[in-house]
Chain A
């Protein structure tokens, strides 16, 4: 007998496996109520129906396009003008998106013109450097960075926390913020960066920060707030979280695994 003449999808609610949950006995036609995973997909034979295949493809397309979307530096500059007018444009040694994807080591190094610019910067030894990078999703920072900073920068200034010019860093990995912070001699370095896009979140931004930034630090020296986007952790709420953590970091003079989540702010 070819077992595939029988389709397990033909099981009805009487004979399908019984799974008791806090919402009662699971019914196969109600699975979508309990998860946003792609369950209970319509089929033709065993194949997923075209409507769902296209929906998947559209999500993948959005994620792919987010990576290769241009970094809209001027637009972000225009949008943050009310809170910050000084900016510096820099770039990592990853000269193209393809190089950036293949050589994470180059994304952690400033190119020579950028180093010179930062060395010549007259606004050093501030408390905080804020860096913005397209990272793996320009769409994430294009959409979220300005809203975030328009809330965050006034908070810093009201708290008497001084900042350097905003640094735009094209094709940066998170660790580039260490080199930038070190060159600007700041106490703390913050980078807003586009995350690796997911199918359900092509435009998700992360904020990482490091106390006493210097070249060669690793992830255990950093703290991170992720999933910053309108449908995730909205930029204004994320800004509140970061402000709390930055204060704690400056007070305790630490960051990373030893800066604990004592207010329940970090997931």
Chain B
């Protein structure tokens, strides 16, 4: 189905839904690289007008990637919940944006409709929204999860303590962990990206983290961010696995490039559940995502990077994860060029994830070849905290010496908690402050 929109004397036409979505997307380098961005600002606004008048129902009969060729498309259609969709089924994309901002859209109602929302509906709505809309609506969503502590309640702000080391040196990692704990970091998870993704290293790191958590009775969970197929044999072997991690994307081909598919994830999920290591509840999965991964894997099917990103959330929510975060500036300037684009994408991903029902966090970050610096991270951190972001990443001095990028520091988390009076996971906070001299 083609779309037409006239602005002034010019009529713009869009051949199909994916072209309309791509051209309605706020400007970013990745869509230009893919050759799918609007060719000028007026065409972009024309696409936004056309998108605003599209009924939400349209997305149920028109897929951006065919059902037959992509298992994420099949998941989106097969898991669609008609009754959850019913209250908003009469709305256009534009009406839905306005409704989200109204007082009728309460925390409970947003939760009720989330399974009736497809990723493309959410992505389309997001494209029409200003940054303040993304912040405000996200702040109304609440997605609590739990494992050894309780995360995601309103007024809470957590961190993944990320103590990476370029040679996976145990003492080096431990030093970064202690430093982070002393600054109140690590309530979301203590999570290491291993420099070497193999069984031996991963197993050693799992035992080390488990030892630290057990010995000090820390109410938190650990994760070694090795590939899911590294984790499964270790779980069989009885290694102390709290959370299973995987990077995921929004198309079957993207996930293939990551070496996973839905059935592998299901197998790992059930294996992790069966370990029953959670004490408060049993959300056992941890996913990372990020705009641009599908284009980077040449697996985007001509779909814009923000829509691909939201499609990955449909996959994530199938596994009731404890944690999901976009790694928003990691991928580089060819996808998100500067602080402005990274900021926008971070707010988009957080909003879309929350609306889809995910316990969304953000790795607020950049690489040295992006036009960004720590001031941009401060801005995005402050915006996301007001939007109710579940957690961020805590890295010593914001400088990850293994992955060679900059994120947020242990101190940044302390800053934002103090500024906005945000709290740690209650079990973790109690543990930390009981240890202080009175």
Give the B-binding residues of A (Cβ under 8 A): 2-4, 6, 8-12, 15-23, 26, 28, 31-41, 43, 45-48, 52, 56-57, 59-60, 63-64, 67, 101-105, 136, 196-202
Interface size on B, residues (CB 8 A): 56
With CB as the reference atom, state the residue of chain B lying closest to A19.
B174
* Residue interface mask B420-438, A partner, CB < 8 A = 1: 0101000001001101110
Offer 6 A-B interface pairs, CB within 8 angstroms, sorted by A.
A8-B181, A17-B216, A17-B218, A21-B170, A36-B401, A37-B163
Task: Known A21-B170, A22-B171, A67-B369; judge A28-B182 contact (CB<8 A).
Answer: yes
Residues of B within 8 A of A59 (CB): 399
* Residue interface mask B363-398, A partner, CB < 8 A = 1: 000011100011000000000000000000001111
Closest 6 CB pairs of A and B: A38-B397, A46-B414, A35-B172, A198-B404, A63-B368, A37-B396
Give CA–CA (A234, B344) in the complex, Å: 41
In the assembled complex, the CB of B410 is this many whole angstroms from the nearest CB of chain A, namely: 9
Tell me if B33 is interfacial: C-beta within 8 Å of chain A.
Answer: yes
Q: Are B33 and A104 in contact (CB under 8 A)?
A: yes
Q: Are B404 and A60 in contact (CB under 8 A)?
A: no
**Consensus secondary structure, chain B interface:** helix
Q: Are A47 and B415 in contact (CB under 8 A)?
A: yes
Q: Are A40 and B179 in contact (CB under 8 A)?
A: yes
Tell me if B178 is interfacial: C-beta within 8 Å of chain A.
Answer: yes
Contact of A3 (CB < 8 Å), options: B218, B404, B429, B437: B429
Q: Are B334 and A3 in contact (CB under 8 A)?
A: no
Residues of A within 8 A of B179 (CB): 28, 31, 39-40
Residues of B within 8 A of A200 (CB): 399, 401
In the assembled complex, the CB of A114 is this many whole angstroms from the nearest CB of chain B, namely: 22
With CB as the reference atom, state the residue of chain A lying closest to B218.
A17
Q: Are A52 and B397 in contact (CB under 8 A)?
A: yes
Contact of B397 (CB < 8 Å), options: A15, A34, A48, A67: A48
In the assembled complex, the CB of A179 is this many whole angstroms from the nearest CB of chain B, namely: 18
Residues of A within 8 A of B398 (CB): 38, 56
Q: Are A6 and B367 in contact (CB under 8 A)?
A: no
Q: Are B397 and A60 in contact (CB under 8 A)?
A: no
Tell me if B215 is interfacial: C-beta within 8 Å of chain A.
Answer: yes
Residues of B within 8 A of A48 (CB): 397, 409, 411
In the assembled complex, the CB of B173 is this many whole angstroms from the nearest CB of chain A, namely: 8
Tell me if B333 is interfacial: C-beta within 8 Å of chain A.
Answer: yes
Residues of B within 8 A of A32 (CB): 175
Give CA–CA (A15, B411) in the complex, Å: 21
Residues of B within 8 A of A37 (CB): 163, 165, 172, 175-176, 395-397, 399, 401
Residues of A within 8 A of B29 (CB): 102
Give CA–CA (A19, B436) in the complex, Å: 17
In the assembled complex, the CB of B427 is this many whole angstroms from the nearest CB of chain A, namely: 14
Residues of B within 8 A of A60 (CB): 368, 373-374, 406
With CB as the reference atom, state the residue of chain B lying closest to A60.
B373
Q: Are B436 and A10 in contact (CB under 8 A)?
A: yes
Tell me if B339 is interfacial: C-beta within 8 Å of chain A.
Answer: no
Q: Are A8 and B215 in contact (CB under 8 A)?
A: no
Q: Are A8 and B404 in contact (CB under 8 A)?
A: no
